[in-house]
Amino acid sequence: MPRLTADLVLGLAALALALAALLFWVPADTGSGIVERIRGQYRIGDAMGPAVAFGILILAGIVLAIEAWLKPASGPGPSGLGSAQLGFLLLLFVIFMISLLAMRWTGPALASLLTEGGYRSLRASLPWKYLGYVTGGTILVGSLIALAERRISVRAFVIGFFAALLLAMFYDLPFRDFLLPPNGDL
């Protein structure tokens, strides 16, 4: 029988939490389904974003658990959480915070500098509806690629830009009245 490793525990925990959230929390907390049809027109439902996110987390948990289960046991496992691991976690936290702040404030900051009316009236029009999402996504993906490669490169941020733009278009284009995050809250 394979050893109980941190990867196996993490994979099973991610799987259990994501399943619980998808089956209990999302239906209880959202007002509509994943996609709803109103007067012959399909609209994205309140549950779409969380359902996709938890679905990806379920897949990641399954892959991690299977990989840990099939991995042969070799010697003593890794030791506890050291300063290098804590530094890495802190760096990840900083990357995520900067990305979320850029996502939240890029549109409103540029609108206050470049327009008279403010951001709220512009948030559903091009290019305003993509500004924050694509900027924050570019920073997030580019920074994570740079962290994995252990060097900052233009290539990483170009990949981040196109990944964020394609994801934004994937969510936005099929639906007429969809507001990308965080535009629905502004």
Given this model, what pLDDT does residue 123 score?
A: 73
Q: Which helix (H) or strand (E) holds 185?
A: none
What does the mean pLDDT of the chain come to?
85
Taking the domains of the chain in order of start, what are their residue ranges? 6-70, 83-185
Where helices occur in the chain by DSSP H, the ranges are 6-20, 26-29, 48-70, 83-114, 128-149, 154-172
112 pLDDT exceeds 70?
A: yes
Q: Taking residues 4-10, what's their average pLDDT? A: 82
Distances in Å between the Cα of 47 and the Cα atoms of 17, 129, 134 are: 17, 21, 22
Q: What percent of the chain has pLDDT over 90?
A: 38
Task: Report if pTM > 0.75.
Answer: no
Q: Which of 14-28, 116-130, 165-179 has the highest mean pLDDT?
A: 14-28
Cβ-based burial of 146 (10 A; exposed 0-12, middle 13-18, buried ≥19) = middle
Per mean pLDDT, which range of 5-14, 88-97, 170-179 is the poorest?
170-179
Residue 121 is predicted with a pLDDT of: 77
Burial of residue 175 (number of CB atoms within 10 Å: 0-12, 13-18, 19+): middle
- How far, in Å, CA of 99 to CA of 101, rounded? 5
Of 177 and 136, the one with more pLDDT: 136
Helix (H, G, I), strand (E, B) or coil at 183: helix
